[in-house]
């Protein structure tokens, strides 16, 4: 029983980490510019397909394909921001939501065109396929890898946000955009950089999720909901909030599927609605 | 200098806003004339009317109140399932079926309005989306009520008014949808041009000033959300009766996104924009998915992006800007 519960918790945390990767870029861009980018799931899907192509068609090893997924997604994100998003910064949320939903639909059609509607299969390297035992508790090696990578990247991100010059600027801009601009910081360019980094992390999350939840063209819509829930519940622009919300959602999802399989995703949506009714600004967000 | 304000002027202005204009007569006559002009496409035209009615219900929220919903298909679907369940229970009279569908959807809308009234902007979009997904998931699970993935079918719908039987070519279907659509449209038109409707536009333009004018925002939102849900429910009920089946698709996110697209395509806040957008959307879907059903999504996305980036105010906005450009 204990071992089972421990494994459930472990799986939930691993799923949560992937959700965190996919959501943290979106959270910062929303906190920074209030830009509602529903196409973030499409960026994650792009990362997933880059990983598939790199491993299956180019024969690259798994660990070398991950940075490739990050890079391609980051470049795509930067291009998207510079050509299209920029024109909608001043527009209302509805215009942003509609445009990015349009991008999602186009991405789904393009992925179907390029790769077919089926699930993509990849062959994982041997050291990530087995199971690792800690005494009575046995967990999958891939999830252990996810947790370790997740912890490393989260620590890296938090340190970068706290210590680096870029991080200081981002935090300043999230807190008070007008004042930051008055200090001579080009918030527009900062936003492009953040958008690219966020897209890259999203792509990395997508690439890591291929072996966990699978990859098919409906990915952006299927996970959009979970990403948005994490971001809204966590509170825009709050890294801690996003992490906590992602881990909670991951745990809740795995627990629901195990204990209440007949309820499906119902319980999660219900909890989200209740949390947002109670705190419209999210768990860690501040009132605008 | 006199401080006395005449009450006659605002009254006449409100009356002038609601005056019936001749292009509206032309519009409805043209719609009715479709019965003669396109006798082979009456089923499609019935779909246009249903979608138009659904888009009108969202227009009430978004165009007049400024409340955007990403899960409006929830009420459409509730109406469709309500009408189908009623028919399956043996009550096959269509008009009372629509009333029932509207009432059930309206009740749900009223319940939701308390959650909606507190929220604004992105949180509102997310919660409406979550409500829509919640219902979709619930309908998928509650197979005893909704038939789950298989949907509901195999029920009869009695002739409209006891006279007009539903036929294979969609003649009755089109005229029935047109008639119901026209009546609901008239009611909504009267509603938005009333002083209460004017108060709604105030809400859209500046929410903080509305309480200063002595208007209770919470009550306004509850009324409008309920009414919008009723109209969406009627549209859903129409679909259930005309096609004599209900699929899980009536609650899908695609339908919620689709109705937003129709409204933005036609132009929100004019009532007619909703109808025109629905017509363009349904016909475009028919033509483009006829070319290749898989890539309809691509065109859908392209239309959306184009509307947002180029066509502010939708087709009606475009039509209004054009004369100014050539002047």
How do residues A142-153 score in pLDDT, each as one tens digit? 888 888 888 898
CA distances from A17 to A10, A24, A63, A286, B87 (A): 11, 10, 18, 24, 48
pLDDT recorded at residue B5: 57
pLDDT recorded at residue B235: 93
pLDDT band with cut points at 50, 70 and 90 for residue A83? confident
Q: Please compute the mean of the pLDDT values over residues A202-228 and round it to a whole number.
A: 85
Q: Which residues of chain B make contact with A87, given a CB cutoff of 8 A?
A: 309
Q: Which site among A27, A98, A216 would you substitute to test the B interface, given the most B Cβ atoms closer than 10 Å to its Cβ?
A: A98
User: What digits encode the pLDDT tens for the residues A112-132?
Assistant: 888 887 888 777 777 777 777
Dihedral sign of CA atoms A57, A58, A63, A67 in order: negative
Q: Which DSSP letter does residue B295 get?
A: G
pLDDT recorded at residue B107: 92
pLDDT recorded at residue B79: 93
Residues near A199 by beta carbon (within 8 Å), at least 6 away in sequence: A25, A40, A43, A73, A74, A76, A77, A78, A80
Q: If you search the block for the tokens 């421990």, which residue do you land on?
A: A6
Whether the pLDDT of residue A274 is over 80: the answer is no
Q: Which site among A26, A27, A97 would you substitute to test the B interface, given the most B Cβ atoms closer than 10 Å to its Cβ?
A: A97
pLDDT recorded at residue A288: 44
* Minimal C-alpha gap between A64 and chain B (Å): 32
Q: Which DSSP letter does residue B78 get?
A: H
User: What digits encode the pLDDT tens for the residues B229-256?
Assistant: 999 999 999 998 888 888 888 888 888 8
**Contact assignment for B137 to A265 by CB distance below 8 Å:** yes
- Other C-beta atoms closer than 10 Å to the C-beta of B308 total 23
Cα-Cα-Cα-Cα torsion A214, A215, A219, A222, nearest 10 degrees, comes to -20
pLDDT recorded at residue A8: 83
* Minimal C-alpha gap between A81 and chain B (Å): 14
Residues of chain B short of pLDDT 70, as ranges, are 1-8, 120, 311-314, 318, 321-327
Whether the pLDDT of residue A1 is over 80: the answer is no
Nearest residue to A18 via CA among A215, A262, A272: A215
pLDDT recorded at residue A269: 73
- Collapsing DSSP to helix, strand or coil, B327 comes out as coil
pLDDT recorded at residue B1: 44
Helix (H), strand (E) at residue A29: helix A2-33
Contact B305, B99 (CB under 8 A): no
The token duo for B314 is 């939708």
User: What digits encode the pLDDT tens for the residues A170-188?
Assistant: 888 877 888 888 988 888 8
Whether the pLDDT of residue A263 is over 80: the answer is no
Q: Model pTM?
A: 0.81
Q: To the nearest whole number, what is the mean pLDDT of chain A?
A: 83
Q: Which of A103, A107, A225 sits opposite B133 (nearest CB)?
A: A225
């Amino acid at each position: 029983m204990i071992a089972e519960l421990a494994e459930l918790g472990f799986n939930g945390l691993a799923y949560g980490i992937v959700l965190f990767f996919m959501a943290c870029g979106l959270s910062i861009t929303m906190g920074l510019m209030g830009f509602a980018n529903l196409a973030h799931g499409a960026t994650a899907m792009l990362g997933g397909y880059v990983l598939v192509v790199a491993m299956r068609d180019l024969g690259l090893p798994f660990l070398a394909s991950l940075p490739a997924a990050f890079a391609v997604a980051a470049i795509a994100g930067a291009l998207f921001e510079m050509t299209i998003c920029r024109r909608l910064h001043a527009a209302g949320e509805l215009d942003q939501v509609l445009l990015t939903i349009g991008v999602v639909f186009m991405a789904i059609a393009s992925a179907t065109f390029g790769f077919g509607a089926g699930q993509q299969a990849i062959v994982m390297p041997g050291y990530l396929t087995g199971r690792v035992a800690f005494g009575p508790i046995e967990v999958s090696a891939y999830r252990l890898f996810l947790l370790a990578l997740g912890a490393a990247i989260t620590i890296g991100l938090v340190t970068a946000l706290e210590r680096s010059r870029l991080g200081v600027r981002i935090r300043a801009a999230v807190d008070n955009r007008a004042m930051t601009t008055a200090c001579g910081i080009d918030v527009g360019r900062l936003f492009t950089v953040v958008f690219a980094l966020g897209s890259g992390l999203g792509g990395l999350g997508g690439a890591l999720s291929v072996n966990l939840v699978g990859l098919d063209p409906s990915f952006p819509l299927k996970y959009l909901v979970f990403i948005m829930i994490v971001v809204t519940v966590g509170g825009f622009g709050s890294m801690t909030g996003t992490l906590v919300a992602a881990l909670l959602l991951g745990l809740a999802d795995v627990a629901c599927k195990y204990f209440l399989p007949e309820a499906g995703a119902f319980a999660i949506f219900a909890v989200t609605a209740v949390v947002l009714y109670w705190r419209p600004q999210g768990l860690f967000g501040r009132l605008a | 200098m006199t401080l006395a304000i005449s009450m006659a002027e605002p009254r006449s202005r409100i009356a002038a806003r609601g005056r019936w204009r001749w292009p509206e007569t032309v519009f409805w006559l043209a719609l009715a004339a479709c019965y003669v002009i396109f006798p082979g496409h009456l089923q499609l035209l019935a779909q246009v009317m249903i979608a138009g009615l659904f888009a009108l219900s969202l227009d009430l929220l978004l165009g007049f109140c400024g409340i955007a919903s990403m899960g409006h298909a929830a009420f459409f679907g509730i109406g469709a399932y309500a009408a189908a369940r009623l028919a399956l229970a043996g009550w096959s009279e269509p008009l009372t079926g629509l009333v029932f569908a509207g009432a059930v959807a309206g009740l749900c809308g009223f319940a939701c309005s308390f959650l909606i009234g507190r929220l604004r902007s992105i949180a509102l979009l997310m919660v409406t989306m979550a409500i829509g997904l919640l219902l979709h998931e619930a309908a998928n699970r509650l197979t005893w009520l909704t038939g789950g993935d298989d949907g509901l079918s195999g029920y009869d719908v009695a002739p409209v008014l006891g006279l007009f039987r539903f036929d294979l070519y969609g003649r009755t279907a089109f005229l029935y949808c047109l008639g119901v659509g026209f009546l609901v449209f008239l009611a909504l038109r009267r509603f938005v041009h009333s002083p209460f409707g004017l108060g709604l536009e105030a809400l859209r333009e500046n929410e903080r000033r509305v309480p200063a004018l002595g208007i209770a925002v919470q009550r306004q939102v509850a009324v409008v959300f309920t009414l919008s849900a009723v109209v969406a429910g009627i549209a859903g009920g129409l679909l259930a009766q005309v096609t004599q089946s209900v699929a899980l698709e009536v609650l899908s996110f695609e339908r919620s996104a689709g109705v937003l697209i129709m409204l933005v395509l036609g132009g929100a806040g004019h009532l007619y924009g909703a109808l025109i957008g629905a017509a363009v959307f349904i016909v475009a879907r028919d033509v483009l998915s006829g070319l290749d059903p898989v890539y309809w999504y691509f065109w859908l996305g392209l239309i959306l992006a184009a509307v947002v980036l180029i066509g502010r105010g939708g087709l009606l906005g475009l039509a209004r800007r054009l004369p100014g450009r050539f002047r």
